[in-house]
Amino acid sequence: MKRTLEQIEEQFQTFQIMNEEGEIVNENAMPDLSDEDLKEIMRRMVYTRILDQRSIALNRQGRLGFYAPTAGQEASQLGSHYALAQEDFILPAYRDVPQLIWHGLPLYQAFLFSKGHYKGNQMPEGVNALSPQIIIGAQITQAAGVGLGLKKRGKEAIAITYTGDGGASQGDFYEGLNFAGAYAAQTVFVVQNNQFAISVPVDKQSAAETIAQKAVAAGIEGIQVDGMDVLAVYAATQEARNRAINGEGPTLIETMTYRYGPHTMAGDDPTRYRTDEMDDEWEKKDPIVRFRKYLENKDLWSEDEENEVVEKAKEEIKAAIKEADNTPKQKVTDLISIMHEELPSNLKEQMEEYEEKESK
């Protein structure tokens, strides 16, 4: 029997485990996490919030280049990442550097990426990830291919890719989902719906009530999750990962979240398209405040523990930016040398020309 549009939209009600007061409202969906797991997730969220604050300050000082703030999206980013294994591949968007860091990318290299240095895009051995994608949505088709490759090789691993709500308006989004669905690729697609594609509200991007329901057209699973609820994001990602590895196909996860800062530090002014009332509403849903309440009620977290994380983050950030600053500046010959395994004749000529200039 055919379902109506209303019936489809009703299927995609927001999945939540923990409410804004840190209370469990969906006990049956609670993931199997130890007390230490819960504390580690909190440590990562606090650390990442400090990293965001410091990165904004470093950008304003001229010590970092491109930077996309992450405050408000910690539950969406880190809850999903905590459900991954080291063997999984991450294909991030430009706001998803925190996942790369917790996947093993050294912090100083994350800073080099922001500074435009080629070494910021070189993933260390064992860190299964691609560089943050600047082109909106381009990583989605790539993730479908990586997921299919993992399946064909019989790997118990997935490809997970991230984009914002604006990415779901791109042609690559539909192509990637359709391809992954057709071939049951081991891929999880995460759309972090922070309500605005730069300044364009999500209701101006699509007539669909949810982004999650777009999974129906691709014949794959879809779920909308409270992206400020780290437990719900973790549980949804864990289930999606298991489905992919078990041959049940890919999943589209829409996390309902919010970025507290501007789209990027490149001149965006969110006060031009967001109201104070909207900001206040979402600040009440802050993922760190919510999770802190939950842990404190379980006697698993204290102000002293949080301060320790804050101080550790500050120290490591200070050391990492110093290392990034001391990294030799990239040269034109560096860029030419890493473009091809074997340089074509025209680039060999350019290499010789620049080598002569750089030697003077």
Residues 229, 346: one domain? Answer: no
How confident is the model at residue 20, as a pLDDT?
96
How confident is the model at residue 90, as a pLDDT?
98
How confident is the model at residue 139, as a pLDDT?
98
How confident is the model at residue 12, as a pLDDT?
85
- Among 259, 274, 290, 292, the active-site one is 259
Q: Say whether 63 is catalytic.
A: no
Domain harbouring 195, CATH code? 3.40.50.970
Q: 191-242 pLDDT, tens per residue?
A: 999 999 999 999 999 999 999 999 999 999 999 999 999 999 999 999 999 9
Residues 81, 198: one domain? Answer: yes
Residues 176, 264: one domain? Answer: yes
Residues 45, 58: one domain? Answer: yes
Work out the average pLDDT over 291-305.
Answer: 98
Q: Say whether 259 is catalytic.
A: yes
Q: 240-283 pLDDT, tens per residue?
A: 999 999 999 999 999 999 999 999 999 899 999 999 999 999 99
- Among 95, 263, 274, 292, the active-site one is 263
Going by pLDDT thresholds of 50, 70 and 90, the confidence category of residue 10 is: confident
Please name the residues in contact with 118: beta carbons below 8 A apart, sequence gap of 6 or more: 330, 334, 335, 338
Residues 223, 106: one domain? Answer: yes
- Among 118, 174, 260, 273, the active-site one is 273
Residues 212, 359: one domain? Answer: no
Task: Name the residue among 96, 252, 254 with its Cα closest to residue 189.
Answer: 252
Domain that holds residue 235: 5-329
Residues 31, 136: one domain? Answer: yes
Under 8 Å between Cβ of 306 and 46: yes
Residues 207, 345: one domain? Answer: no
How confident is the model at residue 351, as a pLDDT?
92
Tokens of 107: 């912090």
Total count of domains within the chain = 2
Residues 113, 212: one domain? Answer: yes
Q: Say whether 263 is catalytic.
A: yes
pLDDT exceeds cutoff 70 at 5 = no
Task: Name the residue among 65, 237, 51, 211 with its Cα closest to residue 137.
Answer: 211
Distances (CA, A) of 9 to 110, 211, 298: 39, 10, 36
